[in-house]
């Protein structure tokens, strides 16, 4: 139960979503700190409580090793706990089963140790000395901050990213996204669904002080920013230039989102409830940013890949996964394989689909399709 939260997260991680947003059908946070952020153990406990309250017939500690189509139109599921014949299957195996590491990792010279977010637990997991953190989304900025605090000088390689303030006009930024209806935007109403599904996670951290952890905060902490890691040549890491453009794009998008919140406050007649609108200070571009780093010089002792996650469908013996490893589906109804459904993937049916509190609405919709499918099968067998 709660396997990914117990075994695949680093020690200091707290949810990005405030406690009031941790809600699943029949269970919501009712503790003393609705605006706080759960630790990894608290999330695991929350999921345990949900399992107990829902009394769903969950078999824990069982691995699914194969799902294939059966001759009767259903599915044959092979698990470490036996075989099952099913009329329908819901794939809820998660969007983050494996860390994504770019191919250039194989060219990093041997003495530099490499870590993914699945091996990393705390700065003590790393050798002493300089650390190159790759990726400046939620994971990368959080790890860069805590590794820098541990006394290991951090260089952070920054590509496209999503900048957000932790709070805005007195409320958590995720409260604003909820109130302004951003989380509820449906997959079939978005202009560019592919892009929405690939958006980097926001630069956010859950701390008691509700601090904003953006690139300016990291620069103030002494982290050195470099561009996207483009190649390794002759033992040197080569980084893209153009940080100014990358930063201004992220600033522009962040301020556009704040515009959306302000518009919502005005149109909903609630503007007077909040403090005055503000805008974020532009991301400061370093006076000089290095375009290369000699990985053999000893300056960098380890690399931490915070370059995202991907699902793992190695066990799915149905041809519904595209060349990039993504499940082909329309709002959770798997394409070309009746009776196969999915939940918990990015923008599956709404922007909030991969969040704990996003699952309820999606599950209701997907279960609707699933029951229609089962009704259809029943009607056929009665005929």
Nearest approach in angstroms of CB 14 to ligand FAD is 8
CB 166, min distance to ligand FAD, A: 13
Contact 215, 158 (CB under 8 A): yes
Q: Which is nearer to ligand FAD, 96 or 265 (CB)?
A: 96
Question: Quick one: 15 or 141, whose CB is closer to ligand FAD?
Answer: 15
Q: Residue 26 and residue 23: Cα distance in Å, rounded?
A: 8
146 or 271: whose CB is closer to ligand FAD?
Answer: 146
Residue whose CB is less far from ligand FAD, 92 or 221: 92
The answer to whether 90 and 80 are in contact (CB under 8 A) is: no
**Which residue's CB atom is positioned nearest to ligand FAD?**
94
CB of 202 to ligand FAD, least distance (A): 10
Which residues are near ligand FAD by CB under 6 A? 3-4, 9, 15-17, 63-64, 92-94, 96-97, 139, 309, 315, 344, 354-356
Report the distance separating Cα 12 and Cα 9, nearest Å: 9
Nearest to 22 by CA among 42, 5, 2, 41: 42
Q: Which is nearer to ligand FAD, 274 or 315 (CB)?
A: 315
Q: Residue 2: how many CB atoms within 10 A of its CB? A: 17
- CB of 194: closest distance to ligand FAD in angstroms? 20
Q: How far is the CB of 206 from ligand FAD (least distance, A)?
A: 7
d(CA 224, CA 380) in angstroms, rounded, equals 65
**CA-based angle 232:144:224, to the nearest 5?**
65
Residue 63 or 209 having the CB closest to ligand FAD: 63
DSSP designation for 293: E
Compute the C-alpha angle 254/256/257, nearest 5°. Answer: 65
Nearer to ligand FAD, 92 or 231 (CB): 92
Minimum distance from residue 60 beta carbon to ligand FAD (Å): 9
> If you count them, how many residues does the chain have?
383
**Closest approach of ligand FAD to the CB of residue 252, in Å:** 25
Q: How far apart are CA 220 and CA 149, in angstroms?
A: 12
Q: How far is CA 229 from the centre of its chain?
A: 21
């Amino acid at each position: 139960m709660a396997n990914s939260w117990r075994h695949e997260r680093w020690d200091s991680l707290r949810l990005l979503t405030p406690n009031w947003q941790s809600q699943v059908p029949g269970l919501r946070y009712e503790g003393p700190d609705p605006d706080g952020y759960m630790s990894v153990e608290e999330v695991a406990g929350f999921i345990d409580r949900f399992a107990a309250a829902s009394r769903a017939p969950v078999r824990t500690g069982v691995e699914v090793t194969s799902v294939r189509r059966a001759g009767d139109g259903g599915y044959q599921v092979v698990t470490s706990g036996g075989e099952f014949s099913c009329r329908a299957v819901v794939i809820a195996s998660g969007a983050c089963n494996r860390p994504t590491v770019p191919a250039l990792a194989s060219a990093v010279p041997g003495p530099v140790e490499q870590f993914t977010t699945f091996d990393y637990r705390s700065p003590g997991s790393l050798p002493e000395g300089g650390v190159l953190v790759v990726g400046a989304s939620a994971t990368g900025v959080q790890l860069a901050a805590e590794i820098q605090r541990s006394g290991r000088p951090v260089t952070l390689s920054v590509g496209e990213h999503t900048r957000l303030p932790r709070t805005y006009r007195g409320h958590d930024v995720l409260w604003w996204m909820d109130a302004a209806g951003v989380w509820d935007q449906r997959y079939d109403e978005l202009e560019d669904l592919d892009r929405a599904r690939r958006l980097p996670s926001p630069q956010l951290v859950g701390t008691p002080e509700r601090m904003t952890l953006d690139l300016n905060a990291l620069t103030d902490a002494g982290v050195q920013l470099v561009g996207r890691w483009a190649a390794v040549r002759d033992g040197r890491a080569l980084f893209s230039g153009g940080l100014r453009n990358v930063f201004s794009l992220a600033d522009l998008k962040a301020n556009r989102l704040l515009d959306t919140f302000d518009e919502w406050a005005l149109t909903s007649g609630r503007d007077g409830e909040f403090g005055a609108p503000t805008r974020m200070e532009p991301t400061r571009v370093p006076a000089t940013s290095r375009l290369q780093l000699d990985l053999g010089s000893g300056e960098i002792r380890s690399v931490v890949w915070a370059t995202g996650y991907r699902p793992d469908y190695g066990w799915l013996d149905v041809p519904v996964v595209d060349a990039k490893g993504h499940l082909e589906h329309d709002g959770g109804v798997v394409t070309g394989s009746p009776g196969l459904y999915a939940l918990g993937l990015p923008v599956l049916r709404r922007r909030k689909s991969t969040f704990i509190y996003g699952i309820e609405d999606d599950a209701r919709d997907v279960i609707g399709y699933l029951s229609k499918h089962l009704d259809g099968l029943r009607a056929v067998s009665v005929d």
